[in-house]
Amino acid sequence: MKLNIAVLPGDGIGPEVTSQAIKVLKAIALEFNHTFLFKEAPVGAIAIDEKNNPLPDSTLDLCKSSDAILFGAIGHPKYDNDPSAKIRPEQGLLKLRKELGLYANVRPVKAYDTLLDKSPLKREIVSGTDISIYRELTGGIYFGEKQLSDDGDTASDLCEYSRYEIERIAQMAFKTAQSRRKKVTLVDKANVLETSRLWRKVVTELAPNYPDVTLDFLFVDNAAMQMILNPKQFDVILTENLFGDVISDEASVIGGSIGLLASASLGDRYAMFEPIHGSYPQATGKGIANPVASILSAAMLLEHFELFDEAELIKTGVEKSLKLNITTPDLNSVYDNITTSKVGDFIADFISNPNDTNINFNNIHLGQSTII
Ligand code: IPM
Ligand code: MN
């Protein structure tokens, strides 16, 4: 298969983790005879520095003319501490989502057996967790009208949803549940918010079309508690933009590191793949950023094009790396010298030689490996 992939590394650790995903995709292309062509473009703080625009037209055009987008991270502390900044890196990502119509953000949350003890939660609570979060991505309070009074003392953000916006992501969530454990949990705040009541109404009306799927509801405050108390109860979580943002960072604790969580942002025409973590400015350039979320986002990209064997091989490589402690310091208590790029090397090498990896593991101990 030939794929044109737009690469938007963005800010902070974005470039270093994204280059590991590319390394892994190149190994896949070689093994499976695919042609993946990568073209890079700036987005976020770096694009503001270069072009005074967090999403230059040339970047948007590249995305629109590509088959898929691989996105790194966005954000810089100089904007976080300056509420008066009119141009902000995050605007680049939000505009990209809106312009490309990426309304469904899929965030899988999985507890890897080998990492159960890395989670701050108890092993028996996290063990077996397998959740697919469907976060609405182009509506709600993120995109409603924003106002700041002339005296600067009053502000508002409008939260708005239409039936159509709810239906299209709900249908996706129901379909996914049909191929999983057949349960959808709608997370909302229907006891308070009118938009949440609309979500409940629309989703309840759709449910009979998926008779094999059980639909249940949780208020977001309770859902936040249940996520920590008993995450295994969840199969597919369906929720609006802001609740999905918060719940998914919370869910990342289950896996042991936010550096593991990948995501796909899907629309009717375009698809973008990105780690859920941010730009982690303190870690930039230190080689300590975990590239697994970006590598697993590349696996989601392959799944999107139905390259399931290829995606599976990446996931097996990731699991192998976790098992052998070929991980960055956020997860590693055994080796202290495994860098971002070494994790990428290991997984790319596994893809080229899936049966050879134990030998490499021995070499790590001997300090002889050319790979590690
Ligand atoms: C995410 C991020 C973004 C969001 C930010 C960077 C705008 O936190 O992808 O979860 O809030 O959606
Ligand atoms: Mn977020």
Question: Are 323 and 358 within 8 A, CB to CB?
Answer: no
For ligand 1, atom 12, name the residue with the nearest CA: 245
Catalytic one among 80, 216, 221, 309? 221
Place of tokens 């405050």: 221
| 130 assigned to active site | no
Closest ligand 1 atom to residue 90 Cα is 7
Model pLDDT, residue 361? 52
Q: How far is the CA of 224 from the centre of ligand 2 (A)?
A: 15
Q: How far is the CA of 132 from the centre of ligand 2 (A)?
A: 16
Look at residues 339, 103, 121 and name the one whose alpha carbon lies nearest to residue 241.
103
For ligand 1, atom 9, name the residue with the nearest CA: 276
Model pLDDT, residue 372? 43
For residue 17, give the amino acid letter: V
Q: What DSSP character marks residue 208?
A: G
Alpha-helix residue ranges (DSSP H) falling in 189-307: 194-206, 220-229, 241-255, 292-304
What are 154's two structure tokens? Answer: 């009053």
Q: What DSSP character marks residue 351?
A: H
Q: State the distance between the two ends of the chain, measured CA to CA, in whole angstroms.
A: 31
| pLDDT, one tens digit for every residue, the chain (372 residues) | 999 999 999 999 999 999 999 999 999 999 999 999 999 999 999 999 999 999 999 999 999 999 999 999 999 999 988 888 899 999 999 999 999 999 999 999 999 988 898 889 999 999 999 999 999 999 999 999 999 999 999 999 999 999 999 999 999 999 999 999 999 999 999 999 999 999 999 999 999 999 999 999 999 999 999 999 999 999 999 999 999 999 999 999 998 889 999 999 999 999 999 999 999 999 999 999 999 999 999 999 999 999 999 999 999 999 999 999 999 999 988 898 999 999 999 999 999 999 875 545 545 443 444 444
Question: Are 360 and 342 within 8 A, CB to CB?
Answer: no
State the DSSP string of 211-232.
Answer: TTSEEEEEEHHHHHHHHHH-GG
Model pLDDT, residue 256? 85
What are 94's two structure tokens? Answer: 């939000």
Place of tokens 């055009």: 61
| 153 assigned to active site | no
Note the residue count of the chain. 372
**The model's pTM:** 0.94
Mutate to test the pocket of ligand 1, among 71, 76, 90 (most ligand atoms within 8 A of CB): 90
What are 321's two structure tokens? Answer: 């790396």
Domains and CATH numbers, the chain: 1-103+267-372 (3.40.718.10)
Model pLDDT, residue 188? 98
